[in-house]
Amino acid sequence: MEYFTLNNGIKMPMAGIGVFMMSPAEAENAVESALKSGVRLIDTANGYMNESGTGRGIKKSGVAREDIFLVTKLWPTVYEKETAIEETLKRLDTDYIDLLFLHQPTDNWREGYRNIEKAYKEGKVKAIGLSNFPEELLQEAIDTMEIKPHMVQVEAHPYFPQTELKQKLAETGMGLMAWYPLGHGDKNLINESVFTELAKKYGKSNAQIILRWHVQSGNVIFPGSKNPDHIRDNFDIFDFRLTEEEMEEIAKINKNIRYYNGTPEMLQQYAKMELGPDL
């Protein structure tokens, strides 16, 4: 495994599993399988409504909690709720969260951030992150919040490598977690000839080449899968290394294409969406 060191000194694995779009039972099984396969980074969220299943999967795996890097996100409707973090801990059945994000940049994000700061000081949260935040709000958090953010989570892949954002993050030592690391499964991206050629060279799949590109680019990745074989394959990217020339070839396919575009109106709707049951 390779690790990214956050700007507060905490190390986190560069690769893990995400449980987006999984039921609590599916998340439970996927997390248990992943941890038994050697994965140590788990990404979930209030909004996925499967934190309870994620917590059960952690317990069933038998892996010690201190060996797991657990990531979750607060949903906008609970940003201002004083008990939101305690309720999140209860669902996950844990005493602390390694990295806690604000999930969306809604109008009340500052109140949510201050709640996370309080939990950080109390040791219930080990690092603070911002998910899907535009650069101007990210800069506001850096400039005005008492505890500077440690990580951002955004869409990133070879068609949209977030080059400018990463230059900004490098100035502050913040890291990047990439969602849609395989371009939302776009076959045009996955089957780019550069990946096909490199897959043959290294005896890997095209997807593994892309995930390896992420890690060497400094991106933390958490591809989701319910299939134990796919989970193992997604994690089997640490026994080879792309050359600088190969990384440069991959950089040439940047199309500045993203697969998700949340409008300001959509983001404000998130602030009103109540969460369903998490059982």
pLDDT tens-digit readout, 214-270: 999 999 999 999 999 999 999 999 999 999 999 999 999 999 999 987 776 777 777
Cα 236 → chain centroid: 18
CB 151 within 8 A of CB 162: no
CATH assignment of 10-270, given 2.120.10.80, 3.40.50.880, 3.90.1150.10, 3.20.20.100? 3.20.20.100
What angle in degrees, to the nearest 10, is found between the helix axes of 84-92 and 51-61?
Answer: 40
- The reply to whether 48 belongs to the active site is yes
- Of 88, 102, 106, whose CA–CA distance to 52 is shortest? 88
Q: Which residue(s) pair with 130 in the sheet?
A: 102, 152
Residues 6+ positions from 98 with CB-CB distance below 8 Å = 10, 12, 68, 69, 70, 71, 126, 127
Which residue out of 3, 48, 180, 270 is catalytically annotated?
48
CA distance 227 to 230: 5
Is 0.85 surpassed by the pTM of this model?
A: yes
The pLDDT of residue 268 is 72
Q: 218-232 burial by CB neighbour count: b if 16+ within 10 A, else e?
A: ebbbbbbbbeeeebb
Looking from the CA of 273 toward its CB, the CA atoms found within 13 Å total 19
pLDDT tens digits for range 93-127: 999 999 999 999 999 999 999 999 999 999 999 99
